[in-house]
Amino acid sequence: MENGLRDEADNLMLLCAQQHMEIDAKAALDVFTVEWLRRVKQEHEDRVRHLTALGQERATTVVRMVGAVHGNAVELSRETAANAVTAARRFPLYLESYSRHGVEIDLRNIPGERAAAAWDMESAAEASRHYYRQATEVIDDVIRNRLRPGIERESVQHLSVFGFARLPLLVYLGSLLDDTVPTDTYQRHRHEQSWVWPAESGPVIDFAAHLVQAGPNRDEAVVVVNVSGVIAPHEIPRELSALRCYKVSPVGAQTGPDILRRRASLRRLEETLRKLLAQLEGEAKSLRRLHVLPAVPLSAAVALGRAHHPQVHPQLVIYERLAGSYVPTLEVGQE
């Protein structure tokens, strides 16, 4: 290269001293090739150009809740969340008061999650209730002392929610999120092993709720939400079998773990849940408890919580499959 061109912007890469030594080493010339360096430089410049083109109105406060699901954890770092919101043409706002990690709810050190999933039904249910009492205290503390002050100061204008935890806790988290703040909920996609919403076009899934069984009891009802799988009628606990029962399911599509391939499908599901709760509010004024059996992706559990208004809607009793049976493990809202 001519000496006069060495300082041109297209031919410069600013690196720390250690990186310069690694790249310039003769032994690494076949690894850090000219083509490779140019590609890395171009990708970095494209990313910076993309982020600096976003206005302040595209800022979002990231909420990450990380736990375990029957003993299994998943990677959900700050960088993972940042990449997902960047792909959605937003940039993460990590305020100083949030230790530059956004709002993080870490449930991984709460004892009892694995035991709650492994014992016989009666013991598992009791262990789950103990685990959920501790977990909801952690969630309450973070939302009350970290997120809500930011909302009250109007420094939080938009939320991006990532959650990997047991379904009842995701419903609980969703119920605590301020409905006045625009919110995007992210889904971990099994096929790509990624939290980025796939960009490819595809069908938007609609959902419908309908009454499958009437019942004489006007104080309680059952809602079965079949999205990622199907809960068969015989799996509904015997003590609920005589109650009025509603079912939410996809229209013209099969249930499956990756059914929510598009963000619009999640919105359609949340709209259906809100319409069902509004319908119940109008039809059954005396309804005080709604037993919910969810077979849903993680993002749908957050959507269910967001659709519920504790001052308007009946208390939700969230069931979970433990030791082969569905048992009530967490109540959302006051009875």
Please give the residue range of the domain that contains residue 23.
3-52
Radius of gyration of the chain (CA): 24
Residue ending a domain, choose from 126, 154, 185: 185
Q: Is position 14 within any domain?
A: yes
25-73 tens-digit pLDDT: 665 566 667 776 677 666 555 455 455 544 567 889 999 999 877 667 7
Q: Is position 18 within any domain?
A: yes
217 and 140 inside one domain = no
Q: Is position 198 within any domain?
A: no
What is the chain's length?
A: 335
Q: Tell me the pairing of strands 159-164 and 183-185.
A: parallel
116-168 tens-digit pLDDT: 555 566 666 677 778 899 999 999 999 999 899 888 888 888 999 999 999 99
Say how far apart CA 102 and CA 269 lie, in whole Å.
27
Cβ-based neighbours of 48, under 8 Å, separated by 6 or more: none
Q: Report whether 177 contacts 61 (CB < 8 A).
A: no
Q: Is position 200 within any domain?
A: no
Cα distances (angstroms) measured from residue 256 to each of 92, 158, 308: 31, 30, 24
Residue ending a domain, choose from 129, 154, 185: 185
Q: Is position 68 within any domain?
A: yes
252 and 296 inside one domain = yes
Question: How many domains would you assign to the chain?
Answer: 3
CATH code of the domain covering residue 259 = 3.40.50
**pLDDT number for residue 99:** 47
Q: How far apart are the first and last CA of the chain?
A: 76
156 and 245 inside one domain = no
Q: How does residue 301 score in pLDDT terms, banded at 50, 70 and 90?
A: very high
Higher confidence at residue 164 or residue 91?
A: 164
Kindly report which listed range (34-43, 205-214, 326-335) carries the lowest average pLDDT score: 34-43
Q: Report whether 270 contacts 307 (CB < 8 A).
A: yes
How many CA atoms lie within 13 Å of 245's alpha carbon, on the beta-carbon side?
18
Residue in the block written with tokens 């703040």: 181
44 and 62 inside one domain = no
Q: Is position 267 within any domain?
A: yes
180 and 61 inside one domain = yes
